[in-house]
Structure 1
Amino acid sequence: MSSKFETILIIDFGGQYTQLIGRRIREANVYTEIVPFSISLEKLKAQQPKGIVLSGGPSSVYETGAPVCDPAILKLGIPILGICYGMQLIGKEFGGRVESAAQREYGSRSLESVRPSCLLDGMRRVWMSHGDRILEAPPGFEVTARTDTTIAAMEDPVRKVFGVQFHPEVTHTENGEALLRRFVFDVCRCRGDWTVGSFIETAVDRIRNQIGNGRALCAISGGVDSTVAATLVSRAIGDGLVGVFVDTGLLRKNEYEKVLSMLKDNLHLNIHGIDASERFLNMLTGVTDPEKKRKLIGNEFIRVFEEEAQRIGSVDFLVQGTLYPDVIESVSVKGPSQTIKSH
């Protein structure tokens, strides 16, 4: 998607609000991707971002093993906004003085303007959550705002590198969304043309170009994830998509028939309905552990799906209806995290 739309990349350092930063920017109709701090310089440059946001994070920049991106990323000439840990990282990498505070600062603070800034107009109350703090801004940077305890914002207007110690993405910060929009539109010069309509058009074109005259197979549950994925592929290749909808016996009364009718009659999908309810219910008899149930259901579903795929015959592509939240729940900034639930 980023090949067509202007992109803001958010480099994730493990902050609790990283996903919220992405949401705020996407709400401004700007395409945004969250990438791990370990992203290579080459991969980042290939994305051709209009701007980069460095997220917050729980670490100290001086901590052993603290997350650090390739320093060359910060010198590409691409506009950068560092938030909390991201600002501290900018301070350290550009030659400022950063120290670990004796006590973490957490909560609402009054913001005092030190000098005019293109990002900070109207900012009065901000939300802090940090341990490290900037003692001295790096060479070329101007301090633009303070609280009663710390430097709260700094910028290098020539290199278009900005840092804020507070979190503009949270609702506790007054006019925080306006700050993010100013960075995206006034500094990065994004157009804000990433809409649902343009996304669908681009996605269908990409799918059509990739599959061509081939066939694709998709497991459809009737939920949002797989149904949207199947509908997009169907718009691109028509009956070249073959959908498989399995009745596991775990749906509500008459739901299998209603969903199958909706997929066929309303969405006009080429769909195969499989009643495997007896297999699933027999398998789950006596099982009470939720995670064990999920794994048993998942494994049995794969077997049913594979059996039907053999009957369908040769296909060229498998359509996977995985949504962004599935990725968030299963993976952390440093790789596999403690599982919230299996997917």
Structure 2
Amino acid sequence: MGWFSIGLDNSCSLFRGLQKEELVLLTHGDSVDKVADGFKVVAQSGNIVAGIANEQKKLYGTQFHPEVDLTIRGKEMLRNFLFEIAGCTGNFTVQNRQQSCIREIQERADKSKVLVCTALLNKALNQDQVIAVHIDNGFMRKRESQSVEEALTKLGIKVKVVNAAPHLLQRDDDPPHLRGGQNPQETHQ
């Protein structure tokens, strides 16, 4: 692997707008001996195939890493792939995604009660619709259930903590070496 100049066919959609030679981080250890039917070589480093394409099927392969900073114009290659080839729009934001999730939750839940384990549902629904439950199964870290309850309360979520450890840890069919454990960090031999 190293930093090499490769020759590009910049009529290929993936490389549109780039120079005929670009610096990339190239893996020389692997190589292509024969290009599959329907594909053509669109990038080379000497006699090493550095990129192939089937424009009709919108399939591309690179022997170099467009995602790293050492591939100087890699972001442009990725932009070509995402927006020109794959047809992505580029209007995604975390806020848009959150609002989309909240709307979908509201539509699906309508006026029903919902058992939840997430702060997102609490934002999407009325508080009287949300029933948050944390079940302490007896295998939590020290103070973990208390920490969960405190964190959810800070987010404005009313949470019911159920201590199920006595029911889950004291089973008659458990092997003797697993019965009666109190310390979750303890190792039974």
Query: With structure 1 as the length reference, what TM-score do the two structures score?
Result: 0.40
| 8 Å CA contact retained: 1:129, 1:166 | no
The CA distance in 1 between the partners of 2:92 and 2:163, in whole Å, is: 40
Residue in structure 2 matched with residue 212 of structure 1 by the alignment: 110
Mark the runs of 5 or more structure 2 residues left unpaired by the alignment: 179-183, 185-189
Q: Name the aligned partner's letter for residue 202 of structure 1.
A: S
**How many correspondences in the alignment?**
168
- Structure 1 unaligned spans of 5+: 1-106, 221-229, 288-292, 294-343
**Equivalent position amino acid for 2:123 in 1:** R
Cα RMSD of the aligned pairs, angstroms, is 3.5
Matched, 1:152 2:50: yes
Closer, same or farther: CA 135–248 of 1 in aligned 2, 3 Å: closer
Aligned to 1:125: 25
1:203 to 93, 96, 101: 101
Q: Which has the larger radius of gyration?
A: 2
How far apart, CA to CA, are the structure 2 residues paired with 1:133 and 1:109?
Answer: 22
Distance 1:128 1:177, change over 3 A: farther
Distance 2:49 2:89 in 1: 32
SS in 2 for 1:164: strand
1:144-173 Cα deviation digits (max 9, x unpaired): 32133443224466x473522415366496
Q: Which has the higher helix share?
A: 1
**Residue 267 of structure 1 aligns with which residue?**
155
Q: CA deviation at 1:189?
A: 4.4
Question: Equivalent residues in 2 for 1:64-213 (5 A)?
Answer: 107-108=1-2, 110-117=4-11, 119-120=14-15, 121=18, 122-127=22-27, 130=30, 133-135=33-35, 138=38, 143-155=41-53, 159=56, 161-168=58-65, 171=68, 174-175=71-72, 176-213=74-111
Q: Is the 8 A contact 2:136 2:163 kept in 1?
A: yes
| Preserved CA contact (<8 Å) 1:134 1:150 | no
**Aligned residue type for 1:261:** E
Cα contact 2:31–2:49 (8 A) shared by 1: no
Secondary structure, counterpart of 1:210 in structure 2: helix
Task: Provide closer, same or farther for how the CA distance between residues 161 and 275 of structure 1 changes in structure 2, counting only shifts above 3 A.
Answer: closer
* Rounded Cα–Cα distance in structure 2 between residues aligned with 1:182 and 1:109: 22
2:119 is equivalent to residue 231 of structure 1: yes
Task: Provide the C-alpha distance between the structure 1 equivalents of 2:35 and 2:109, rounded to a whole number of angstroms.
Answer: 55
Q: Distance in 2 between matches of 1:119 and 1:206?
A: 35
**1-side partners of 2:130 and 2:29: how far apart?**
49
TM-score normalised to structure 2 length: 0.67
Aligned counterpart, 1:254? 143
Q: Does the C-alpha gap of structure 1 residues 275 and 114 become closer, same or farther in structure 2, counting only changes over 3 Å?
A: closer
Match of 1:243 among 132, 137, 142: 132
